[in-house]
Structure 1
């Protein structure tokens, strides 16, 4: 059995005549099948050239007819134009068409009107779909493979019906991004509307609702000065593009191992029309790493440790503070039900360990993971981003404490205009800095040093 494909301009009289002849044959012959493609007049030439190039054909007029061998399989065979199709029908089926010219013109006009109505209906249908646009930069970072499957879910975005995912990577290859897109589509996630890939800044951050900036894969040969220069140029451009293209209510989250606070500060300097509270840097990965170290020492689960605070420069001078930290399910002198917790500082009596070894262990934790697994700590990075997004979307307790790099509000005697990691809580989709933390002289000094370090990074 053969299937014919009939394609032509919507307003072409010969296409209309061939169409009615094909309909007549399909009604009377059980093994005759026709598939019709009505192309808008202004799109016809481009479509024809692309189709002929793809199949190695030469054809210049409307309509275009070819035959596909659906039983044997294989490449389609060009039949030709209207005259060739008419001759084929006469030779094989002894059927011809005697449609007068005025009827041909009438049917052609009806075809065009029908096609235009279908286009309008499709545009209206598409306009009813309002996807959430999520952009991931440096999308070929290993973190994406752990982030994407959990990101596109109702657990993270409970009030979203559909998501358009945009994968941007300026260092990566288009082939690599194509592979990531295929993997994402293969997940068959119910919220996923479409995946698009980008290897340049031509469309970067257009209509963005959420932007997740992952760490770039800088060359190992790059020195610190080159990295800073590259970051300054890139994140300055990122900020300007967000300012002009992204939605004004966009959420921007920076996740990086190096110069994390500096990146966020560069974005803020160049995105003047977007509220500074919508730009944050993830400290959650450090929180998780600190919790894991405490949990191992106290022989509890990592999830049993809560409300750890990270102060300062996330990828530089930071300090892990346990003044609000709680420990559940600790097997000590005092026991209680599952909801019972004890202050971490009461259980951890070794103050010297907390101020020295513990801080060093957290600082080296990520490098230790990378050396053993031979890759970056991608899972904890993805988990940190997801934790912040869930809290931002209302999936957290109002008492739960998070650490984030935010534009310093000038409290704790810190200079304005510096991005520092501070304790925050989320309420009704908005975060606010906790101002009731105890900040002694020693911690103030640490924060001043962190602020000085960040100002120096920015000046350099």
Structure 2
């Protein structure tokens, strides 16, 4: 079978002549196939250069014809322009073209008019769709491979009919992003409206100038996440601080896993573990709200019956020393053994926070979130610390009905002081040149940011 690809400027007379010749051959020859690529005049040169560079060809005019080696694999074989295609058809198929010049011009004009009408129709169609825009930075991180299918499954955003997914990775390559885009589109998920790969440096400034002021931002990662959230806040001054959170669900889940092993229950049967402090630095695991279901102890009840974790765990020394250290070591152990396992944990945590932010959780469920200190617990202003929060009607609020003793308050003051010093060091290293790049202080910017945009950048 002979398969040819015919590409050319929409308004090109020679493209029109080659197109009609190819149609004639396809109608009369059962083994002849033609694929047409019509490019708008203002896009032709860029498309031509890109295609030639990708295939190692040299061609400078419209149209361009090549043969796909469908039986042999590999890249196509360049045939040339219209004259080369005409000569090939005459030699191999004894078919020629005798189209008058004025007819060629008329067909070319009709092609352009038809294409412009299609463009206008598509723009109108797209303008009627109001998708939810989701931006993922560090999109080539393994976390994204677990996260993206769930984001587009209608479970996290049940009332959203279309999603535009934007993939960013400052340290990745364009080819990797394009493959991720293709893989996402190949899943044929109903909610996916548009997928875009792009690169931006000034995330905070971008949100400040272009994002919907109701944008929601989640920061997740293994290093300096509180600091990164602070930097975004500093560069997006027009957006409310309540719309930025740093995710501590990974630490919560790691703490639950250790407790579950100690109590011989499932991890899912432990709830409301609290993480205070610097999520990727100095933190404290607090169990004053933690509850345990299905514990095999002296007191038993139905499936909905729970007990306070502190009433079951009597070894206070273990809770204050060994348990805290085990949680600190757990993440490092998971990452060292399986990057994929850590990515699954991160994706699961992000999805849990998104569901809570969208109202898909109980108002009594407690989450640990790194947020700009709201003035509670006698903490200093301007510091992002992990605190216990609950979600109601799409908004989080600090959980105030807690006991914060002198020892915990001292810990929090120490954590705040450490973070303030890191922020001062960062400022001394010129934030503009470092906070969105790899550097000795910040390390690779490996976090996930979700931004819901009313007006997308780079999309219709």
| TM-score interval (norm. to shorter) | 0.7 to 0.9
Q: Please, which moves more after superposition, 142-151 or 393-402?
A: 142-151
Matching residue within 326, 337, 343 for 2:308? 343
2:226 match: secondary structure:
helix
Deviation at 1:258, TM superposition (A): 3.1
Give the 3 Å change call, closer, same or farther, for CA 22–172 of structure 1 in structure 2: closer
Matching residue within 370, 388, 400 for 1:435? 400
Give the 3 Å change call, closer, same or farther, for CA 118–453 of structure 1 in structure 2: same
Query: Aligned partners of 2:175, 2:13: CA distance in 1, in Å?
Result: 43
Matching residue within 404, 408, 413 for 1:448? 413
Deviation at 1:442, TM superposition (A): 2.7
Structure 1 residue 115 and structure 2 residue 80: aligned? no
State whether residues 170 and 200 of structure 2, in contact with CA within 8 Å, keep that contact through their aligned partners in structure 1: no
Q: Please, which moves more after superposition, 37-46 or 177-186?
A: 177-186
Query: Aligned partners of 1:84, 1:346: CA distance in 2, in Å?
Result: 86
Deviation at 1:428, TM superposition (A): 1.6
Match of 1:410 in 2: 375
State whether residues 275 and 284 of structure 2, in contact with CA within 8 Å, keep that contact through their aligned partners in structure 1: yes
State whether residues 142 and 376 of structure 1, in contact with CA within 8 Å, keep that contact through their aligned partners in structure 2: no
Deviation at 1:131, TM superposition (A): 3.9
Match of 2:200 in 1: 203
Matches within 5 A, 1:71-150: 101-150=101-150
Query: Aligned partners of 1:189, 1:344: CA distance in 2, in Å?
Result: 41
State whether residues 146 and 347 of structure 2, in contact with CA within 8 Å, keep that contact through their aligned partners in structure 1: yes
Give the 3 Å change call, closer, same or farther, for CA 337–121 of structure 1 in structure 2: same
Structure 1 residue 278 and structure 2 residue 246: aligned? no
Match of 1:425 in 2: 390
1:300 match: secondary structure:
coil
Q: Please, which moves more after superposition, 121-130 or 391-400?
A: 121-130
Match of 2:160 in 1: 160
2:377 match: secondary structure:
coil
Match of 1:40 in 2: 40
Query: Aligned partners of 1:88, 1:374: CA distance in 2, in Å?
Result: 54
Give the 3 Å change call, closer, same or farther, for CA 413–45 of structure 1 in structure 2: closer
Query: Aligned partners of 2:82, 2:337: CA distance in 1, in Å?
Result: 68
Determine which structure has greater relative contact order: mean sequence separation of CA pairs < 8 Å that are 6+ residues apart, divided by chain length.
2
Give the 3 Å change call, closer, same or farther, for CA 95–334 of structure 1 in structure 2: closer
Deviation at 1:203, TM superposition (A): 3.4
Matching residue within 216, 219, 240 for 1:254? 219
State whether residues 394 and 427 of structure 1, in contact with CA within 8 Å, keep that contact through their aligned partners in structure 2: yes
Matches within 5 A, 1:367-386: 367-371=332-336, 373=338, 377-386=342-351
Structure 1 residue 363 and structure 2 residue 328: aligned? yes
Matching residue within 253, 261, 277 for 1:288? 253
Give the 3 Å change call, closer, same or farther, for CA 67–265 of structure 1 in structure 2: closer
State whether residues 166 and 195 of structure 1, in contact with CA within 8 Å, keep that contact through their aligned partners in structure 2: yes
Deviation at 1:288, TM superposition (A): 1.3
Query: Aligned partners of 2:340, 2:65: CA distance in 1, in Å?
Result: 54
Structure 1 residue 313 and structure 2 residue 278: aligned? yes
Give the 3 Å change call, closer, same or farther, for CA 16–153 of structure 1 in structure 2: closer
State whether residues 7 and 62 of structure 1, in contact with CA within 8 Å, keep that contact through their aligned partners in structure 2: yes
1:415 match: secondary structure:
coil
Q: Deviations over 1:379-415 (max 9, x none)?
A: 3333222211111112111111111011111122222
Q: Deviations over 1:119-154 (max 9, x none)?
A: 222333333444433333333444334434434322
Query: Aligned partners of 1:373, 1:408: CA distance in 2, in Å?
Result: 34
Give the 3 Å change call, closer, same or farther, for CA 186–6 of structure 1 in structure 2: closer
Query: Aligned partners of 1:315, 1:131: CA distance in 2, in Å?
Result: 34
Match of 2:288 in 1: 323
Q: Deviations over 1:391-450 (max 9, x none)?
A: 111211111111101111112222222212111111121111122212223322222222
State whether residues 164 and 192 of structure 2, in contact with CA within 8 Å, keep that contact through their aligned partners in structure 1: yes
Task: Return 5+ residue gaps in structure 2 as ranges.
Answer: 426-460
Query: Aligned partners of 1:83, 1:372: CA distance in 2, in Å?
Result: 61
Task: Return 5+ residue gaps in structure 1 as ranges.
Answer: 205-236
Deviation at 1:321, TM superposition (A): 1.8
Match of 2:453 in 1: none
Q: Deviations over 1:152-202 (max 9, x none)?
A: 32222222334343343333455555565565556554444455445xxx5
Whichever of the two has the greater Rg, that structure is 1
2:134 match: secondary structure:
strand
Q: Deviations over 1:240-272 (max 9, x none)?
A: 233234433222212233333222122212210
Q: CA RMSD in A?
A: 3.5
1:281 match: secondary structure:
strand
State whether residues 2 and 71 of structure 1, in contact with CA within 8 Å, keep that contact through their aligned partners in structure 2: no
TM-score between the two structures when normalised by the length of structure 1 = 0.78
Match of 2:228 in 1: 263
Q: Please, which moves more after superposition, 182-191 or 379-388?
A: 182-191
TM-score between the two structures when normalised by the length of structure 2 = 0.78
